[in-house]
Amino acid sequence: MSQVIKPYGDTMNDGKVQLSFTLPIEWSEAADEAARQLVTKMGFTDVQVVEGRRIAANFAFFVIYASTPQSIDFATIKAPSAKTHSMSMEEIDAYVQEHLGRKVRVAGACIGTDAHTVGIDAILNMKGYKGDYGLERYQSFEAFNLGSQIAVEDFVRFAKEREIDALLASQVVTQKGSDIKNFTALVELLEAEGLRDRVVLICGGPRVTNLMASELGYDAGFGRGTLPSEVASFVATTLAARLAAAR
């Protein structure tokens, strides 16, 4: 069953989008026209430059409404979520007790030079996020928050020494692809050390998607708005499934 969709303004299939951008030219009426033609070249129709003005010497800013002729068949989209088996903290504690019979050891860090711990703290710190307790609070987890700017080598060494079950790598800074480089470096080092299959490997950050994570060789990726219990559920069910498969 196909489900073809377009952006919705106020009428089904009107294809309306809003755009804004800056052009490196002094503003003039010709600048407005340049913006209109540029957006037309992007493939949009019914292009309306609703705002165009000078914002600095040799820079002009535009707000544009336009329609796209493009559509997408939603039925063909595949982007599996890692948040499918969500349980509460109490349920997870009981689940781990039943299926694993020991504490799960989790370590998290902002790897590379990234110093933004807001994401990893939200998942690991006792306090948690949006009223959902962090993994430090769980009876069934032993959580280590290594904090910011942790070298990939140190993270892997820690995983090895402490026999960590699940690694959570966080990246907030994405400038010039630094997040992808760091995530890739971690997978590669784990593989080189022969540890990749011994851990549940998870990445997180505001720009992370589960699809991207699987392409990078991670078991799961969690993006903006993720709750600690969603990560804990994934770790617990994945470990249980691996244990069952090994038996």
Partner 1 sequence: MELRIDQKTVERCRAMASAIVEPVSHFIAAHSTVAVERSVLRLLGVDGVGPDEIPVPNMIVDALAPDERARGAALAFGKALAETGLDPRALGDAVAAGTHRLADYAHVPDEAARGAMRPYVDAALARIRERRAEREERLQRIPQLPPPLLYVIVASGNIYEDRTAAAAAVEAGAQIIAVIRSTGQSLLDFVPYGPTTEGFGGTYATQANFAIMREALDEASERAGRYVMLTNYASGLCMPEIASMAALERLDMLLNDSMYGILFRDINMKRTFIDQHFSRMLNAYAGIIINTGEDNYLTTADAVEQAPAVLASQFINEEFAHRAGMPDRQIGLGDAYEINPDLEDGFLYQVAQAQLTRQIFPNAPLKYMPPTKHMTGDIFKGHLMDAMFNLTSVMTNQTIHLVGMLTEAIHTPFLGDRTLSIENARYIMNTARHFGDEIAYKPGGAIERRAQSVLADADALLHKVADMGLMNAIEAAVFADVSRAPDGGRGFDGVFARAATYWNPFEEALRVEGGCK
Q: Which residues bind partner 1 (CB under 8 A)?
A: 20-22, 55-57, 59, 61, 113-115, 117-118, 121, 125, 127, 147-149, 172-176, 178, 206, 224-225
> Residue 222 Cβ, how far from partner 1 at the closest point, in Å?
15
User: Quick check: is 127 catalytic?
Assistant: yes
Question: CA-CA distance, 182 to 93, in Å (whole number)?
Answer: 32
> Residue 105 Cβ, how far from partner 1 at the closest point, in Å?
20
Per-residue DSSP letter, 135: G
Shorter beta-carbon distance to partner 1: residue 57 or 244:
57
Question: CA-CA distance, 242 to 197, in Å (whole number)?
Answer: 10
> Residue 181 Cβ, how far from partner 1 at the closest point, in Å?
9
> Residue 238 Cβ, how far from partner 1 at the closest point, in Å?
28
Shorter beta-carbon distance to partner 1: residue 85 or 224:
224
Question: CA-CA distance, 155 to 112, in Å (whole number)?
Answer: 10
Other Cβ atoms closer than 10 A to 222: 27
Residue 65 in contact with residue 56, Cβ under 8 Å?
Answer: no
Contacts of 231 (CB under 8 A, 6+ apart): 123, 135, 168, 202, 204, 222
Residue 3 in contact with residue 75, Cβ under 8 Å?
Answer: yes
Catalytic residue among 127, 160, 176, 181: 127
Shorter beta-carbon distance to partner 1: residue 30 or 118:
118
Kindly list the catalytic residues: 127
